[in-house]
Structure 1
Amino acid sequence: MEQAQQLERSTLKIADMTCASCAQRVESALDNTEGVIDATVNFAAEKATVEFNPAQVSDYDLKQIVEDTGYEVVEEEKTEVEEQDEDQQKIAKARSKMLWSWGLTIPIILWMIPEMFLGIAWPTETVYHLGMIALATPILLLVGRKTYYTAYKAISHGSANMDVLIAMGTGAAFITGPASFFTPLADYAGVAGMIMTFHLTGRYIETKAKGRASQAIKKLLELGAKTATVVREGEEVEVPVDEVQVGDIMVIKPGEKVPTDGEIIEGESAIDESMATGESMPVKKTVGDEVIGATINQRGLIKVKATKVGKDTFLSQVIKMVEEAQGTKVPIQEFADRVTSIFVPTVLIIAAVTFGLWLLFPETLREVTTWAAAYLPWVNPNLGLITGAIFATIAVLVIACPCALGLATPTALMVGTGMGAENGVLIRKGEAIQTLKEVHTIVFDKTGTITEGHPAVTDLVPSEGFSEAELLQLAASVEAGSEHPLGEAIVRRAQEDDLTIDDISGFEAITGKGVQAQVGDSQVFVGSRRLMDEQDIDVSPVEDRMKTLEEEAKTAMLIGVDNQLAGIIAVADPLKEDSKQAIAELRDLGLETAMITGDNERTAKAIAQEVGIDHVVAEVLPDGKVDEIMKLQDEFGTVAMVGDGINDAPALTQANVGIAIGTGTDIAIESSDVTLVRGNLSSVITAIKLSRATFRKIKQNLFWAFIYNTIAIPVAILGLLHPIIAEAAMATSSISVVTNANLLRRVDVQPRYLEK
């Protein structure tokens, strides 16, 4: 337990990773370090998330481990704006390389066409070969030099990545140019330049698409206010939002953004909170209400006292949560990771075997190419022995693509978690994306989850010898020492009726049963039948009335004075506006629903029947919720729990997926896998739909990445794939995976009943 409390989490920004094999190598090096509990490297986000024991390993050690594997850790702290600028610079640089390489490649293509289709090397064969070498050289050694540099670094550190394959493929192709002057080899120097150009084009589109995948975080960053008007020494002063301190009074006019989280101390308005909750309708706010930074004040002038600034604000916490989710992994990715870790070495072996096969069995393979030449115009069965072997080997080297495998899951996860943040669904762990789509049963807490959590007294039923006022006064005096919502409702009603709340002594909360305290000379008990039975207080005279109240979905609390029943106080907690509709749509999605509550069985069943819940588990003590979740897991399989209170935290942790209502307690939120910023249940539907849609994209991406390599490599071995087509297909595979992930944005994850 002590060790768990000492663990730290660090995020490292890693430069120079060019493919999934790079990420896998870094991750493996970190994972195998003593003191590192868990390490996840996200190739798409270019970040490593490391959980470690600082007593065994330091941040500096982690940096050294990454650098020892051949990659650079970007240490300098950058502001959010600077990080966005850096992304734009990467895209611009990749675009520049692509354009320069195409500027030299287009002449190569035009010059090669007569030679390829007519057999004419214009103006002479010597000039043609020299021209191919001259045009390809700057593409490879100037524009594409980074590819060779990273390939060299990988090899020097005892590993191989995608750049090694490209470097070997283009290098082998280019060498045939000078060699063709001395041996009867076909000249592939121009082809080498074209391969590099397609490679750089793929890099550019991939860089741009990866930027789009993390677009949601960038959008959130842009939402924040840049300045704030604060009251300093009696005067209104405009300052950068970074200079706002806790306790500052901010003046916010209509149309302005709320600079940071705070509490309204003057004025009232309607606040557009769509950036936080996804809810388009403005929310009315008045004195005492909390406001969220980056939301928009739509109407009146308000003064807000800053309560959270900097990294403590809601917006910063959302960004942190999304980034952490993007740094985690989905279980389905494990197989792809295992394949990726051995992919490049395997391809190098396959390439060597391919070269050998063409030298050992040229006639057999030439029969295949002769047959294919009738259908594929780029297949030439008349190539020489060595040329044919080189042709097939280069195609194998450049067609193999671990990038598509490495990008398949993280890009979809980045888009999905970003969409969740935009819709008020904060996914804390990537694993929840996969688990949530497998959920069979969703379990709801009652108070504050299905109901508003703001109960009110509806009935006062005094026993003989007690008046309504006496009954309420006794109960309120005891409940004044309680923090339970039902007790607060009784106290609130007594205050509204101007009743005196007496001093008490010996207050005790009896878990799951009620409360007791000494009021004057009497011992007063407020709670359930079970509590009254323990005190030998006869409740039989009011059983029928209790039953009636409970069937009306009211919580009936018994009040006992010494050994006598004083009466009943009934409290009702109104259902949330969308509880019925949300639960109905969850059932339409094929999910079972259940409710766990400490309330009595009749009240619980009445509420369950009203909202359409399938299974009810009532009269459960807080520490019994975990056991009930375990029983449901045994009965139904994968279970999600939705709750909001402190007593829900253990159950949220026990459930396969814990979903916390964001309006609930911090402890419940910290114990959950998914946090719903909005307090209503529509976000549960959004979370389920988002999970299913994201996982569909992950499976599609992995399928196309695997099927592409499964088909393409054997075709390349047989000499049926031109190296240029191979490289174009390789680049396309990565682009298609990232593009497919971005198509997730088109999926509608809103509940049907909210659609206009």
Structure 2
Amino acid sequence: MTCAACAARIERKLRRLAGVTVTVNYATEEATVTHPAALDPATLVAEVERAGYTAELRQAIRSEEPLRALEERLIVTASCAVGVLAPAVLPVLRVPGWEWVCLVLTVPIVGYGAWPFHRTAWTHLRHRAATLDTLVSAGILVAFVLSSWQLLSHPAHALGYFEVVAGITFVILTGRYLEARTRRRAGSALRDLLELGPKEVTLLWNGEEVRVPADRVTEGDAFLVRPGEKVATDGVVIEGHSAIDAARLTGEAMPIEVGAGDPVAGATVNAGGRLTVRATRVGRDTRLAQITRLVESAQSGKAVVQLMADRISAIFVPAVLAVAAVTFLARYGLGASPGDAVSAAVGVLVIACPFALSTALLVGTGRGAQLGILVRGPEALEHTRGIDTIMLDKTGIVTDGRMRLAAVVAAPGESREQILALAGAVERASEHPIARAIDEAGGSALPVEEFSALPGLGVEGRVAGKWVLAGRRELLVQRWGELPESLEKALAEAAGTAVVVGWDGFARGVLVIAEVVKPTSAQAVQELKALGLKTWLLTGDRSAAAETVAAQVGVDMVLAGLLPEGKVEAIRALQRQGRVVAVVGDGAHDAAALAQADLAITMGTGTDPAIAPADLTLVRGDLRLAADAIRLSRRTLATIEGNVVWAVGYNLVTIPLAATGAIHPVVAAVVMCLSSVLVSANSLRLRWFR
């Protein structure tokens, strides 16, 4: 493919097959096809070839061969072009017979350097189609044939357009080469992902260490990860302790400490001690594979503005051919010399610049993957434009889901230390997160006897000869009657989850358990506000606990005590008011709210491989990524739109100028190439998004 018109043509051809939907991306030179199971993929390849292109089923890593071939043609063309252009620029070099030398040097330029343009143009001509190569080939051939005919028939009055042929071919080949390198750089993020995984791994088989290719690891295998090595696949540490560097996979700057029982993701780097890991997911099920598929999917799509440009490209080349023909006839009919009329027509042919806009999407989604932001597709970019409200789930998003002891309130005459020690002892036998927080804070070594868990209410057991209850208010009221007034007041004012503790028939104190707010959440909320978003906190927790968290991070509004359906209704209420709502969630309980939102953002944490099909997925559990994701999405969309404005304006200005003869054909070729490179360079600025 040489321009967006090629991509549009391939799409039209493939869509003629029954049940086929397709998106062709010019920047990645790939087609993403959905087809019936009964359709052989070879049929798709054959259809593309019948359209005049070559195709093959996608390989993991793209070959460098096309770029090298283009580089060879450029070298040959440049070598010959020097001999053609030098006499045109320096009259002192115009020795007798120099025109014939130019002719001889121009032949390899036209026959070898410009051969890809001619081949593509001829192929498309046989299929009654035209692309950018049609324009270039026509311009080169017209100038070459006319100059050769004039030289052969009237040597003394030769038009001398050989330098035009050499200049146009050299400049356009240079532009193609630079654009190809630019597109390759643009796709570097995806290639980096594909190449992240290790090539070999040390498996433990019957107590022996065996070095094998990484793709031979199966689920359940145990393997070694030495310091500095990559983890072969997703797994769980069964022996050892180390720090894992996940920066290239998730964008997380700080290494993660892991030990026995902790999960690790494939392609992360062991930055510390020796680990033994048992494989839990391999192949397409790994976190790396899921991230790669999401990035590929995003890069294969097209934003609405790109689809519009593709429709323009379908008629762009025929229109330029028509303008060139009209330019020649009009100027010649108005008395211009044949040379001037041809020069203007060639200028029109080579100055036209196509709408190649896919590079921005390619770079933006690739940069997002490097930062730990996965964009589902171009639609997500467009959704971010109108967002004015963002609703944050509390647990796991604003807080880290861990519990800590926030306060101990003792009844009159009771000891805070004794309350905490007895509660910690009885809670130690429970697996509940609240119980673990109390146990960690209490640090009690007292044994518990006759322990019993009371689902939904609390726990009980005998500790140091005392029968201890710890749990909801209802449990102690049911067993031992009403609570002291001081404890009822503590329950009403608790800024968190309250656990009532008592023994031997009386309630003795209240423990307040609060979630730990992530250290970056307050900064993230401020960044979201700086984007012009109204921030809301959604939670099923009590109002007092929610208000405490909200005060710490600075959100605008709080909705507490909501069941999943309540969250959905809250979103609908805002949407009925004309608000455009984004939701950030991380679990199954957020699924309904995410589905109702105008923009769904999910947050993955640790090495959890469940990359949700949301509009935006944040690979690590840092809420600041939500603001980064919205900024990056808006920046990418703005870059695409800026490229469209430039392409339209460029063609509206330069084609009329070329038609009037104000621009020399060689200058026209230079301007066209500079325009293409400028659009690509503008897109590449996204690589440095921070």
TM over 0.5: yes
1:295 aligned to 2:268? yes
AA of the residue aligned to 2:130: A
Q: Alpha carbons of 1:518 and 1:114: their partners in 2 closer, same or farther (altered >3 Å)?
A: closer
Query: CA RMSD for the aligned pairs?
Result: 3.9
The answer to whether the 8 A contact 1:526-1:558 is kept is: yes
Within the candidate set 43, 48, 68, 2:26 is matched to: 43
Aligned to 1:548: 493
Q: Quick one: distance in 2 between partners of 1:726 and 1:256? A: 53
Aligned to 1:373: none
The answer to whether the 8 A contact 1:268-1:302 is kept is: yes
AA of the residue aligned to 1:203: R
Within the candidate set 619, 624, 634, 2:561 is matched to: 619
Q: Quick one: distance in 2 between partners of 1:215 and 1:501? A: 58
1:668 CA displacement:
7.5
1:78 aligned to 2:63? no
Aligned to 1:327: 300
Q: Deviations over 1:436-465 (max 9, x none)?
A: 25422221100111011123566788999x
1:639 CA displacement:
2.3
Instruction: Indicate the SS of the match to 2:663.
Output: coil
TM (norm. structure 1) is 0.79
Within the candidate set 164, 170, 174, 2:144 is matched to: 174
Instruction: Indicate the SS of the match to 2:494.
Output: helix
Q: Quick one: distance in 2 between partners of 1:620 and 1:540? A: 30
The answer to whether the 8 A contact 1:649-1:667 is kept is: no
Aligned to 1:92: 68
1:22 CA displacement:
0.1
Map 1:616-695 to 2 at 5 A.
616-635=558-577, 637-663=579-605, 669-695=611-637
Q: Alpha carbons of 1:22 and 1:543: their partners in 2 closer, same or farther (altered >3 Å)?
A: farther
1:447 aligned to 2:395? yes
The answer to whether the 8 A contact 1:652-1:668 is kept is: no
Q: Alpha carbons of 1:632 and 1:501: their partners in 2 closer, same or farther (altered >3 Å)?
A: farther
Q: Quick one: distance in 1 between partners of 2:650 and 2:484? A: 74
1:538 CA displacement:
10
Aligned to 1:722: 664
Map 1:10-89 to 2 at 5 A.
17-36=1-20, 38-54=21-37, 59-75=41-57, 78-80=59-61, 83=62, 86-87=63-64, 89=65
Aligned to 1:14: none
The answer to whether the 8 A contact 1:659-1:673 is kept is: yes
Q: Deviations over 1:537-587 (max 9, x none)?
A: 99997764333103xxx034799xxxxx99977432111121112212322
Instruction: Indicate the SS of the match to 1:74.
Output: coil
1:673 CA displacement:
1.6
AA of the residue aligned to 1:161: T
Percent of pairs with identical residues = 38
Q: Alpha carbons of 1:657 and 1:623: their partners in 2 closer, same or farther (altered >3 Å)?
A: same
1:605 CA displacement:
2.1
1:266 CA displacement:
0.6
1:193 CA displacement:
2.9
Instruction: Indicate the SS of the match to 2:545.
Output: helix
Q: Quick one: distance in 2 between partners of 1:618 and 1:141? A: 74
Q: Quick one: distance in 2 between partners of 1:71 and 1:276? A: 36
Map 1:547-586 to 2 at 5 A.
547-550=492-495, 554-556=496-498, 570-586=512-528
Q: Quick one: distance in 2 between partners of 1:528 and 1:155? A: 83
The answer to whether the 8 A contact 2:514-2:545 is kept is: no
The answer to whether the 8 A contact 1:650-1:671 is kept is: no
The answer to whether the 8 A contact 2:499-2:512 is kept is: yes
1:396 CA displacement:
0.6
AA of the residue aligned to 1:43: Y
Q: Deviations over 1:348-407 (max 9, x none)?
A: 121122122213334xxxxxxxxxxxxxxxxxxxx61x22221111111111111xx22x
Aligned to 1:206: 179
AA of the residue aligned to 2:145: I
Q: Alpha carbons of 1:257 and 1:720: their partners in 2 closer, same or farther (altered >3 Å)?
A: same
Q: Pick which of 318-327 and 163-172 moved more.
A: 318-327
Map 1:202-601 to 2 at 5 A.
202-362=175-335, 384=337, 386-402=338-354, 405-406=355-356, 408=357, 410-456=358-404, 502=452, 544-550=489-495, 554-556=496-498, 570-601=512-543
Q: Alpha carbons of 1:668 and 1:636: their partners in 2 closer, same or farther (altered >3 Å)?
A: farther
The answer to whether the 8 A contact 2:290-2:609 is kept is: no
1:602 aligned to 2:506? no
Aligned to 2:112: 142
AA of the residue aligned to 1:73: A
Instruction: Indicate the SS of the match to 2:252.
Output: coil
Q: Quick one: distance in 1 between partners of 2:31 and 2:200? A: 33
1:197 aligned to 2:170? yes
Q: Alpha carbons of 1:666 and 1:24: their partners in 2 closer, same or farther (altered >3 Å)?
A: farther
Instruction: Indicate the SS of the match to 2:402.
Output: coil
AA of the residue aligned to 1:442: I
Aligned to 1:151: 121
AA of the residue aligned to 1:339: I
Q: Alpha carbons of 1:488 and 1:154: their partners in 2 closer, same or farther (altered >3 Å)?
A: farther
Q: Quick one: distance in 2 between partners of 1:489 and 1:429? A: 41
Q: Quick one: distance in 1 between partners of 2:250 and 2:524? A: 16
Q: Deviations over 1:645-673 (max 9, x none)?
A: 10112222322221111128979842312
Q: Quick one: distance in 2 between partners of 1:479 and 1:624? A: 30
Aligned to 2:133: 163
Q: Quick one: distance in 1 between partners of 2:566 and 2:316? A: 49
Aligned to 1:753: none
Q: Quick one: distance in 2 between partners of 1:501 and 1:158? A: 84
1:591 CA displacement:
2.4
AA of the residue aligned to 1:66: V
1:593 CA displacement:
1.1
Q: Deviations over 1:161-208 (max 9, x none)?
A: 011111111111111023214477724244223212222111111111
TM (norm. structure 2) is 0.86
AA of the residue aligned to 1:97: R
The answer to whether the 8 A contact 1:425-1:674 is kept is: yes
1:106 CA displacement:
0.7
The answer to whether the 8 A contact 2:230-2:268 is kept is: yes
Instruction: Indicate the SS of the match to 1:223.
Output: coil
Q: Alpha carbons of 1:309 and 1:571: their partners in 2 closer, same or farther (altered >3 Å)?
A: same
The answer to whether the 8 A contact 2:343-2:661 is kept is: yes
Q: Quick one: distance in 2 between partners of 1:538 and 1:706? A: 77
Q: Pick which of 663-672 and 614-623 moved more.
A: 663-672
AA of the residue aligned to 1:632: L
Q: Alpha carbons of 1:330 and 1:348: their partners in 2 closer, same or farther (altered >3 Å)?
A: same
Q: Alpha carbons of 1:494 and 1:177: their partners in 2 closer, same or farther (altered >3 Å)?
A: same
The answer to whether the 8 A contact 1:420-1:687 is kept is: yes
Q: Quick one: distance in 1 between partners of 2:106 and 2:484? A: 97
Q: Deviations over 1:306-361 (max 9, x none)?
A: 22223322222222221111111222323222221211111112112212221333
Q: Quick one: distance in 1 between partners of 2:258 and 2:130? A: 59
Q: Alpha carbons of 1:271 and 1:154: their partners in 2 closer, same or farther (altered >3 Å)?
A: same
1:151 CA displacement:
1.0
The answer to whether the 8 A contact 1:462-1:568 is kept is: yes
Q: Quick one: distance in 1 between partners of 2:259 and 2:41? A: 46
Q: Quick one: distance in 2 between partners of 1:527 and 1:164? A: 79
AA of the residue aligned to 1:282: P
